Structure 1
Amino acid sequence: MAGLPLDAVFLSVSMTVLILAGTVKGVIGIGLPLITIPALSFFVGVPQAIAIMSLPILITNGYQAFASRELPDVARRFWPLLLTLIAGVVLGTSLLVTLDEQILYAVLGSAVIAFGLLNLLNPSFHLPARSELWLSPPIGFGAGVLGGLSNFFGPPIVVFLVALRLPREAFVAAVGLAFFVGALPLYGLLIVYGVYGWAEALASLAAVPPVLLGVKLGERLRRRVPQDLFRLLVLGLLIVIGLSLLRRAWF
């Protein structure tokens, strides 16, 4: 696979990262690209890391959305967010292939740190239902730009949905649907821009089994490990990764 390192260090680290990220996904329902993209980007470029994670992200989020009975209600409720999400992805992906790599590291690191801190602080603010209609489009667009740049749409969307205090099942379905809808144009544009080739496609296919293994492990851990403790450990790890990316961007 031209352009991808296949030495023992890369393969062993990648396998560990994929299983760990899948485990996190199995425990808390999100976090797959937040862990894998920063970690893989230390070995390959950010665009390549995003391409490698395409199939695992599509498969896990598609399952999360389409296996839920909440899907029809969620789609009707959040269609403005989904439409502007797609528009933001188009802009963000165009920036992904033209921006200086140091800027990409800075954006990705800042976003990871912000996501970790917001969840550690656990803001208790509540958005009234009447604000949902006018907030959905800008939230969707901003999440799309971020997703196009870094392959994760989580920070704006997750904070928005938490603030709306959605029931658990509706929250999981909404997150899965948004991430799935945003990922489709992102990966299509990566093919158009020449970032996603046969090498990345094969690597992405190879990444699916360890991620799914991690998801199964996460489902078991969710029943045995206190979720609050596990969540704190995960968020702490994300902040460390974000700081490392900022250091790489600056120096």
Structure 2
Amino acid sequence: MIDALEQLCTQFGAAAVAAAFAVMFLGGFTKGAVGFALPMIAISGVGSALSAQLAIAAVIAPSVAANLWQTFRQGLRPALSSMRRFWVLNATMFAAIAASAQLVTMLSDRALYMILGCGVTAFGAVQLAGWRPPRPRGRSAALEAAVGLVAGFFGGLSGVWGPPILMYLVALELPKAEMVRAQGVAFLLGSLILAAAHLRSGLLAGTGGALSLWMVLPAAAGMAAGLAAHDRLDQRRFRQATLAVLTLAGLNLLRRALF
């Protein structure tokens, strides 16, 4: 694993690798504070310092670790309850991630940056504008399957499947604790299948896998700090600041794709 870091420093420069670690800490902090955004921040930031494929690889192991923490923080029984409640959403997302993840190694960096940039920018801008999807009339298996399909397709390609799921959960107007737990369950299942899919695709072989494991350290440190700050932060303002940063990061990825 040390050899992998040395190889990355040689290829991209020590400053770029250090910046990637700092971005992962920021992603972990935001995840602990508001319950989401680690992959979006990490992929946007790491993708600006390293390659797009390495950015996707880098976020996988930290996402698994962070989502395990978030899912089971309130205990096993509440986590299982959330899994049962949203099983259609999660099962559809699970299958879609497994299928679309195999396309990552076939796409150019430019195409990946375009996909990442469009998704992150659109989510951040829509949320900053204050738009909320209308509340569904009761539970709908078809709607959950559609949300899971969209989230899984883009999640397999980019490592970011949170925005459609977040919008759906916001529309349901779940209590805060239940919403954070439901996010954790969906994100955990997604990160597990993404890890399995990229072990198969080869993205986590060699340097990519070593980088992903190294990134668990700053992500865990950031999440611990974010959880400690959770109750003391002005959640509305911090969320707005996070979305503003995400939007700028998404625009930067689009810049890399276009120029």
TM-score, with structure 2 as normaliser: 0.90
Correspondences of 1:6-155 after superposition (within 5 Å) = 7-68=13-74, 69-155=77-163
Contact 1:126 1:165 (C-alpha < 8 Å) held by counterparts: no
19-28 or 40-49: bigger deviation? 40-49
Identity of aligned residues (%): 34
Contact persistence 1:70–1:169 (CA under 8 A): no
1:181 equivalent to 2:189? Answer: yes
Q: How many correspondences in the alignment?
A: 251
Q: CA deviation at 1:58?
A: 0.1
Question: Which residue of structure 2 lines up, in the alignment, with residue 4 of structure 1?
Answer: 8
Instruction: Give the Cα separation in 2 of the matches to 1:221 and 1:67.
Output: 16
- Match in the other structure for 1:170: 178
Moved more, 71-80 or 193-202: 193-202
Aligned equivalents of 1:191 and 1:63: distance in 2?
22
CA shift at 1:3, angstroms? 5.8
Instruction: Report what 2:204 is aligned to.
Output: 196
Which amino acid counterpart does residue 151 of structure 1 have in structure 2? G
CA distance in 2, matches of 1:179, 1:124: 21
1:148 offset after TM fit, Å? Answer: 0.5
1:97 alignment partner, SS class: helix
Give secondary structure in 2 for the equivalent of 1:20: helix
Aligned residue for 1:130, secondary structure, equals coil
2:250 aligned with 1:242: yes
Question: Residue 48 of structure 2 aligns to which amino acid in structure 1?
Answer: F
Q: C-alpha deviations, 1:23-46, integer Å up to 9, x for none?
A: 111110101011111111123322
Q: Distance in 1 between matches of 2:193 and 2:58?
A: 16
SS at match of 2:202: coil
Q: Letter of the aligned partner of 1:5 in structure 2?
A: C
TM-align CA RMSD: 1.8
Given that residues 26 and 215 in structure 1 are in contact (C-alpha distance below 8 angstroms), is that contact kept between their aligned partners in structure 2?
yes
Q: Is the 8 A contact 1:26 1:216 kept in 2?
A: yes
Measured after TM superposition, the shift of residue 95 of structure 1 is 2.1
Q: Is 1:223 the equivalent of 2:227?
A: no
- The question of whether the paired residues in 2 share the 8 Å contact of 1:112 and 1:242 is answered with yes
Tell me, in whole angstroms, the C-alpha distance in 2 between the residues paired with 1:225 and 1:82.
30
Structure 1 distance, partners of 2:183, 2:24, is 20
Q: 1:180 to 1:210 in 2, by over 3 A?
A: same
SS at match of 1:224: coil
When the two structures are superposed, what TM-score results if normalisation uses the length of structure 1? 0.92
Residues 112-161 of structure 1 show CA distances to partners (whole Å, capped at 9, x for unaligned) of 11111222123344423435322001110110011111111111000001
Residue identity matched to 2:194: L
Partner AA of 1:44 in structure 2 = L
The more displaced of 168-177 and 222-231 is 222-231
Distance (Å, rounded) in 2 between the aligned partners of 1:72 and 1:223: 25
